[in-house]
Amino acid sequence: MTRKESTVPRRLRFEIFRYNPEDAESVPHMQTFELDEAPYMSLFIALNQIRETQDPSLQFDFACRSAICGSCGMLVNGRPALGCRTLTSDLPELIRLHPLPVFKLIGDLSVDTGTWFREMVENTEAWIHNQQAFDPEAQEGRMDDDLAHAIYEGDRCIECGCCVASCGAANVNADFAGPAGLNRVARFMMDPRDTRGDGDWFEVVSNSDGVFGCIGMMACHDVCPKELPLLEIYAYLRRKALAARFAG
Ligand code: SF4
Ligand code: FES
* CA 47 to ligand 2 centroid distance, Å: 13
Nearest-5° Cα angle at 230, 177 to 166:
60
pTM of the model: 0.92
Q: Quote the CA–CA distance of 47 and 61 in Å, as a whole number.
A: 10
Q: Quote the CA–CA distance of 123 and 170 in Å, as a whole number.
A: 14
Q: What does the buried/exposed string (b/e) look like for 115-141 if buried means 16 or more CB atoms within 10 Å of the residue's CB?
A: ebbeebeeebebeeeeeeeeeeeeeee
Q: Quote the CA–CA distance of 247 and 243 in Å, as a whole number.
A: 6
Per residue in 203-241, pLDDT (tens digit) is: 888 888 999 999 988 999 999 999 999 999 999 998 888
Q: Can you say how many angstroms the Cα of residue 57 is from the centroid of all Cα atoms in its chain?
A: 25
Nearest-5° Cα angle at 104, 99 to 105:
45
Sequence letter at residue 18: R
* CA 30 to ligand 2 centroid distance, Å: 24
Whether 166 lines ligand 1, by a CB cut-off of 6 Å, is no
Task: For residue 105, give every residue at least 6 positions away whose Cβ sits within 8 Å of its Cβ, in sequence order, or none.
Answer: 19, 21, 99, 111, 112
Q: Which ligand is nearest to the CA of 61?
A: 2
Q: Which ligand is nearest to the CA of 113?
A: 1
In order of their start, the domains of the chain are: 11-98 (3.10.20.30), 113-247 (1.10.1060.10)
Per residue in 97-150, pLDDT (tens digit) is: 999 999 999 999 999 999 999 999 999 999 999 988 888 998 888 899 999 999
